[in-house]
A and B are shown apart, each in its own frame.
Chain A
Amino acid sequence: MKPKPSRSLIALSTSALALPGISVADAPPTQSTASYKISNYQEDDLSRSEAPFGDLDRYDIDVHQFKLISPVGRNFSVNIDANYETLTGASPWFTSVGLDGDPDVNLSGASGIRDKRTEVSIGARYYLENGSIGSNIGYSEEDDYRASYVGFSGERHFNNDLTTVSLAFSHSADDIFPTDAELFGRVISESKYSSSAVISVSQIINQFSTIRTAFSTTEQRGFLSDPYKLIDFRPDNKTQLAWSNSYRRFFVDRNAALHLNYRFYHDDFGISSHTIDTSWFQNLGRNYQLVPSIRYYSQSAADFFTNIDDFLKPLNEYQSSDYRLAAFGAISGSLSLVANFGNWTATLTAERYVASDKYAAYKVNQPSTALVKYNRVSLGFDYSF
């Protein structure tokens, strides 16, 4: 048995690890990287017994993502992100009581939903001696939705770069103008605004492990209801708080890394949630990496959640049957294979997600029948030049 490392050894290791050539501190990218990723997200269809009327198909979404990051001069980098999504399918329009007394789901119109979303954002980052500052602006458009946002962030390294504190602020303004509004008696045009702030602290414990903790708060105001639901009336103000923690550890002898994350969330709609996920990044030879991940999520229901739309309730009382406001739990597992060849990196990911009231850690008074299960497959390419 070797004796424990002495205080001298710890002190010398700490100061040596802070040397820029050894430490893992921020540096502007030295290469340009372009990446492209296509994902397909497919929800499991409902069965006829769950939805007696309307379409049985749920959402099928294809996502194309393009990203370019490039250094400019010694201390500056710029990035451009573009996303294009096409979406087909139907989402629940209202829920009603079936003949057996259980809630049924009615999916929206026979033609279903067909939409596309385009998003572009550009950003710039300036690297200082002890940190970096950056800003980005973005714009996103759908047939019935428009959002523009702006964000600022800064980070500073302390304690010989072993500690990093970062702050970020963002603001977004969204306009909602539902399609076929007059036909279905939907709202014609509404807006909503969100502002958020995040503070995070990360600490390098030694050359193998790091921890990070972050607090974020988001304030939303405006139209927060779902315009496509026949009955959906939510408060026009929402405050969200989240506390996120992560731990990373590299195992030299296994040539692998463990990532462990926990997040607690609470908002004043009454929803609290816990998320725990873990991933194992296993390097295989010099060109491949296999990443199995597992995630558990559970939330409590919003105060005004109902699994059966109450058409008799006064219109000024809050209610929503949106499954995302129900109490439920979800388990998902994914497997990624990363392959590196020269300047190219390819990533193939398959994911299975199942939400159910059976997995809930919180008490489920009213189970939602619209909880989703989906498979997601994505393939991405990165190219450095």
Chain B
Amino acid sequence: MPLTLRRLSFQAMGSPCEIQIYEESRISAKKITQILSSEVSRLERKYSRFIPKSFLSEINYSAGNSMGIKIDKETRALFDHALSCFEQSHGHFDITAGVLNNIWDFQKKIIPTESQINELLPSIGFNKLQWRGSRLYMPANMTIDFGGIVKEYAADAAARLARKIDVQYGLVNLGGDFAIIGPQPDNQPWPIGVADPKNRKALIAKIDALEGGVASSGDYERYFAHQGKRYSHILNPKTGWPSAGLRAVSVAANLCTVAGSIATTAMIKEESEAIKWLEDSGLSYIAMNQNEEIIRNGWQEPSATAE
């Protein structure tokens, strides 16, 4: 049987997900997808802040407990990566700012008062985490949110697992975060497009990727306008307010996790700082600012053939 592109969709991490692989048999493609999607749901069950029994919920429940909580190796590595994000972004990207999600409600468009925000700021700050061996001690009221890290990590982990079980040509897409398993047959790149934040059916740019990953961060759906300013759902841990810099950014990197960390940091920064951050990274990126202007480096205009 010839190699055929098999596309299989599933729902995970609150997003539509898709795995595309070239396989001879439909049955083995299905088997592979099941293995990969179960890895993604393993990470979702472990790190979702919406699942009360997830390990992340347990971690958050331990805040203020003088006994702390024992952290396994994988979670420790996520904290280590989050520390790297915190340091490199000079504190803009901070997973300990999860508590802000409790007072900002983007669905109901409720704006917290300044005093509500000021009350919470002391329970934010990666440098307030304490470690003793493999035990983590969190200050009271602190909440960890692995947004911008875990979905991207899950995409990379699924792609790596696929390579481990000898899948050669494929692409993992977890709600717009992409990790490439391997190029298309004959070393052809995967075209990855970015949708227009204003019109989800139109592409504003595309990139041809042979390896690595692409991650996006944006305020397409979750945002609100307040006093003529548009606020994204991405919160600035320093001010407690949503960021009002870029509207959307997509980054291509050696790993989806790295692309996600760069993109999330860019979203939290002010526009000019964000563009400098993206330029300095040396990566290919495309960003849209508040005036709906496109700033790009390395991304092409969508060709007429793109869907």
The answer to whether A15 and B281 have CB atoms under 8 Å apart is no
Q: Does A99 reach chain B (CB closer than 8 Å)?
A: no
Q: Does B13 reach chain A (CB closer than 8 Å)?
A: no
Per-residue CB contact flags for chain B residues 153-175 toward chain A (1 = under 8 Å, else 0) read 11011001100001011000000
CA distance A129 to B74 in the complex (A): 10
Q: Does A189 reach chain B (CB closer than 8 Å)?
A: no
CA distance A17 to B213 in the complex (A): 13
The answer to whether A21 and B157 have CB atoms under 8 Å apart is yes
Q: Does B221 reach chain A (CB closer than 8 Å)?
A: no
The answer to whether B85 and A20 have CB atoms under 8 Å apart is no
The answer to whether B80 and A21 have CB atoms under 8 Å apart is no
Given contacts A8-B88, A12-B262, contact A20 B282 (CB under 8 A): no
The answer to whether B187 and A255 have CB atoms under 8 Å apart is yes
The answer to whether B262 and A22 have CB atoms under 8 Å apart is no
The answer to whether B84 and A19 have CB atoms under 8 Å apart is no
Chain A residues near B73 (CB, 8 Å)?
20, 129-130
CA distance A5 to B255 in the complex (A): 14
The answer to whether B84 and A14 have CB atoms under 8 Å apart is yes
Chain B nearest CB, measured from A236 CB (Å): 49
Chain A residues near B281 (CB, 8 Å)?
5-6, 8-9
The answer to whether A16 and B210 have CB atoms under 8 Å apart is no
Chain B nearest CB, measured from A62 CB (Å): 32
| Contact size range, A | 20 to 34
State which residues 1-58 of A face B: CB under 8 Å: 2-9, 11-22
Across the interface, name the chain A residue whose C-beta is closest to B90: A8
CA distance A3 to B161 in the complex (A): 31
Chain A residues near B157 (CB, 8 Å)?
19, 21-22
Q: Does A75 reach chain B (CB closer than 8 Å)?
A: no
Q: Which of B43, B161, B282 touches A9 (beta carbons < 8 Å)?
A: B282
Number of interface residues of B (CB under 8 A): 43
Chain A residues near B156 (CB, 8 Å)?
16, 19, 21-22
Per-residue CB contact flags for chain B residues 73-85 toward chain A (1 = under 8 Å, else 0) read 1100110110111
CA distance A207 to B160 in the complex (A): 12
Given contacts A6-B281, A6-B282, A8-B281, contact A18 B80 (CB under 8 A): yes
The answer to whether B280 and A6 have CB atoms under 8 Å apart is yes
Chain A nearest CB, measured from B266 CB (Å): 11
Per-residue CB contact flags for chain A residues 243-264 toward chain B (1 = under 8 Å, else 0) read 0000000001101000000000
Q: Which of A4, A20, A253, A286 touches B168 (beta carbons < 8 Å)?
A: A286
Q: Which of A16, A21, A283, A286 touches B258 (beta carbons < 8 Å)?
A: A16
Q: Does B257 reach chain A (CB closer than 8 Å)?
A: yes
The answer to whether A9 and B258 have CB atoms under 8 Å apart is yes
Chain A residues near B39 (CB, 8 Å)?
21
Across the interface, name the chain B residue whose C-beta is closest to A252: B211
State which residues 325-369 of A face B: CB under 8 Å: 340
In the complex, which of the residues A14, A15, A130, A286 has the most CB atoms of chain B within 10 Å of its own CB atom? A15
Given contacts A3-B282, A9-B282, contact A19 B258 (CB under 8 A): no
Across the interface, name the chain A residue whose C-beta is closest to B83: A15
Q: Does B300 reach chain A (CB closer than 8 Å)?
A: no
Q: Does B270 reach chain A (CB closer than 8 Å)?
A: no
Chain B nearest CB, measured from A317 CB (Å): 59
Given contacts A19-B157, A22-B153, A22-B157, contact A160 B80 (CB under 8 A): yes
Q: Which of B72, B88, B153, B253 touches A11 (beta carbons < 8 Å)?
A: B88
CA distance A252 to B254 in the complex (A): 12
The answer to whether B257 and A19 have CB atoms under 8 Å apart is yes
State which residues 262-287 of B face A: CB under 8 Å: 262, 277, 279-283
Chain B residues near A283 (CB, 8 Å)?
168
Per-residue CB contact flags for chain A residues 172-213 toward chain B (1 = under 8 Å, else 0) read 000000000000000000000000000000000001000000
Across the interface, name the chain A residue whose C-beta is closest to B84: A15
In the complex, which of the residues A5, A22, A283 has the most CB atoms of chain B within 10 Å of its own CB atom? A22
The answer to whether B166 and A22 have CB atoms under 8 Å apart is no
Given contacts A16-B81, A21-B156, A21-B161, contact A11 B87 (CB under 8 A): yes
CA distance A11 to B258 in the complex (A): 10
The answer to whether A5 and B282 have CB atoms under 8 Å apart is yes
The answer to whether A160 and B166 have CB atoms under 8 Å apart is no
Q: Does B243 reach chain A (CB closer than 8 Å)?
A: no
Q: Which of A7, A9, A129 touches B262 (beta carbons < 8 Å)?
A: A9
Across the interface, name the chain B residue whose C-beta is closest to A17: B255
Q: Does B232 reach chain A (CB closer than 8 Å)?
A: no
CA distance A19 to B155 in the complex (A): 12
Per-residue CB contact flags for chain B residues 284-300 toward chain A (1 = under 8 Å, else 0) read 00000000000000100
Q: Which of A9, A11, A19, A255 touches B74 (beta carbons < 8 Å)?
A: A19
Q: Does B261 reach chain A (CB closer than 8 Å)?
A: yes
Given contacts A8-B280, A253-B210, contact A13 B77 (CB under 8 A): no
Given contacts A21-B157, A129-B73, A286-B166, contact A12 B261 (CB under 8 A): yes
The answer to whether B81 and A18 have CB atoms under 8 Å apart is yes
CA distance A18 to B283 in the complex (A): 21
Chain B residues near A6 (CB, 8 Å)?
280-282
Chain B residues near A286 (CB, 8 Å)?
3, 166, 168-169
Chain A nearest CB, measured from B252 CB (Å): 11
Chain B residues near A18 (CB, 8 Å)?
77, 80-81
Per-residue CB contact flags for chain B residues 107-132 toward chain A (1 = under 8 Å, else 0) read 00000000000000000000000000
Chain B nearest CB, measured from A239 CB (Å): 40
CA distance A286 to B279 in the complex (A): 37
CA distance A340 to B167 in the complex (A): 12
Q: Which of A4, A13, A130 touches B255 (beta carbons < 8 Å)?
A: A13
Chain A residues near B74 (CB, 8 Å)?
19-21
12 residue pairs from A and B, CB less than 8 Å apart: A6-B280, A9-B262, A12-B84, A12-B88, A13-B258, A14-B84, A15-B81, A15-B83, A16-B258, A21-B43, A21-B74, A130-B73
Query: Would you list the 5 A-B pairs with minimal beta carbon distance, nearest first?
Result: A21-B157, A15-B84, A8-B88, A15-B81, A16-B257
Beyond the given A12-B261, A255-B187, please list 10 additional residue pairs across the A-B interface where CB-CB is below 8 A.
A3-B279, A6-B282, A8-B277, A8-B280, A9-B262, A16-B153, A21-B74, A21-B154, A286-B3, A340-B166
